Structure 1
Amino acid sequence: MTFCRLPRWPLRSLLLASLITVSTSSQASELTLLVGDNPPFNSFVHGKPEGMAVDVVGEMLKRSAISAKQYNYPWARALQTAATTPNHCVYTLGRIAEREKRYVWIGPIARIQGVFFGLRERQLQLKSLDDARKLRIGDLRQGANAVWLEQLGFKIDYANTEEQNIKKLLAGHIDLYPASLHAGPEIARRMKIPPQRITPLLAFNQVDLYLGCSPNTPSPLIKRLTQALAQMRADQSLKQIEARYSPQLQIAH
């Protein structure tokens, strides 16, 4: 029996072609996006990101032809990862002085009003920040409201998630829960808690929300995203996305 030996070059070519195919199919996304919990702007619900800012960022990615994967991280970890890891971004991120140099800022995407919430049945009265200073306050570690309040000398009982804050409020472990005007009632509703139990007591801070990216992210990606957002403002598509969420944005007024 005679065995015919196939030429080596075609085999090598086939092997090389298969490697190229595998490499192309498994190519990583250009950006990794870490999504905070700030309804109705951005949240992970049933394993998927949703909200007004999610729609805005999705349209930015589409227009700039940038691929991205999105993940739900604990907030403090998300902030640290996005600040130090190339091609990582976090949103929605309140732009405050303490964070300015840690990120490249793309936005603003939205603006939030910080509010102290309390349990309606306790009938707490707040006329000023000094009234709040006398009470126990819970917030997310490294949250924009927490950082702002700490600068004023407030002591914060930290939590890793918004749900933990509301559970502490319901259990009487904290007296006040600072959140955006829209997020408090929405998170309570998500937890199957009547949102009217969580009542706004005092507005204290406004913060613009951004997509914050690592300074080590390639500048062409940042430029394409920035240009995409500018286009969305120019052609009114940003306002159209906002309009879709206007009923939710009025939830706590």
Structure 2
Amino acid sequence: MEDLVYLTEDLPPLSFAVNGEATGLAVDVLRLMWQRMGEKAQPIRIVPWVRAYYTLREEKHAVIFSTYRTAERETQFRWVGPIIEGELAVYALRARALRAESLKDLATYRIAGLRDAAATIKLERAGIPVMIASKLENALKMMDSGRIEALTTDRFRLRATLRDMGRPFSDITELWVLSRDSLFYAFNKETSPELIRRFQEALDGVRRSPEYKNLLNYYGI
């Protein structure tokens, strides 16, 4: 098998570090895939999302996960998945009782998002400006202070960030669902189709196995 560089981010329960070791649903599924492929375990690095995304576009041996496979990204990479379904949305503070009856209504709000994130790209492609925040925690603080009215992200990331901040998810309300897309392993476009086929067959086998259901239960998904 080609020497691949595996990159993920801190996104519980899909990927996170415990005592310096990567773990999480997507990490464990990948390790099961390697077993089915007869391949030895490889190093997995946890890095900031922007760095991982840049590496995937520039490095032909890169693999990043978990990545939303959206229409906007479809032709940029090769895909293996799905790992699990996710949701991209626009969120606001529940206490402010904001409403949006259509996508166009979102243009009346100041919205923050993360650079190159799937939710940010969807809004920008729809012609809705997004203020770039360096971290989702910063976007939440901006929303608390009134600098913005809403933020856009995926549900997994929002739950993990709120948990790290010691805040309940009930503080937040879903203003608008942008899409329900699945999360995949994304490979550089130069990856051979045969290698993609091997990974996909391995993942299909894992998802049909009792081990996959056990992992979903273990990580509370």
> Is the shorter-chain TM-score for this pair beyond 0.5, marking a shared fold?
yes
Question: For residue 24 of structure 2, what is the aligned residue in structure 1?
Answer: 51
- The 3 A distance-change label for structure 1 pair 163 and 33 is farther
Return the offset for 1:109: 0.8
Does 2:90 match 1:113? no
* Matched residue SS, 1:173: coil
Return the offset for 1:94: 1.0
Residues 63-78 of structure 1 mapped to structure 2, 5 A cutoff: 63-64=36-37, 65-78=39-52
Residues 81-160 of structure 1 mapped to structure 2, 5 A cutoff: 81-160=55-134
User: Could you tell me which of 169, 172, 175 is aligned with 1:195?
Assistant: 169
1:135-184 Cα distance to aligned partner (Å, 9 max, x none): 01111111111111111101011123332322322232221122223432
Does 2:205 match 1:231? yes
Task: Give the structure with higher Rg (CA).
Answer: 1
Does 2:19 match 1:40? no
Question: For residue 4 of structure 2, what is the aligned residue in structure 1?
Answer: 31
- TM-score by length of structure 1 reads 0.76
* Matched residue SS, 1:127: coil
Query: Are 1:181 and 1:200, in contact at CA under 8 Å, matched by a contact in 2?
Result: no
- The 3 A distance-change label for structure 1 pair 33 and 203 is same
Unaligned runs of 5+ in 1: 1-28
More displaced 10-residue stretch of structure 1: 209-218 or 233-242: 233-242
- The 3 A distance-change label for structure 1 pair 239 and 101 is same
- The 3 A distance-change label for structure 1 pair 144 and 70 is same
More displaced 10-residue stretch of structure 1: 96-105 or 80-89: 96-105
Query: Are 2:88 and 2:118, in contact at CA under 8 Å, matched by a contact in 1?
Result: no
1:36-87 Cα distance to aligned partner (Å, 9 max, x none): 3443323446644333222212222233214322223332221121122132
- The 3 A distance-change label for structure 1 pair 45 and 149 is farther
User: Could you tell me which of 60, 64, 85 is aligned with 2:33?
Assistant: 60
- Letter of the 2:4 partner, please give it: L
- Letter of the 2:85 partner, please give it: R
- The 3 A distance-change label for structure 1 pair 54 and 190 is same
Give the aligned CA root-mean-square deviation in angstroms.
2.4
- Letter of the 1:76 partner, please give it: V
Unaligned runs of 5+ in 2: none
Over the matched positions of the two proteins, sequence identity in percent amounts to 29
Count how many residue pairs are aligned between Structure 1 and Structure 2: 219
Distance in 1 of aligned mates of 2:23 and 2:101:
35
More displaced 10-residue stretch of structure 1: 132-141 or 66-75: 66-75
Higher relative contact order (CA 8 A, sep 6+): 2
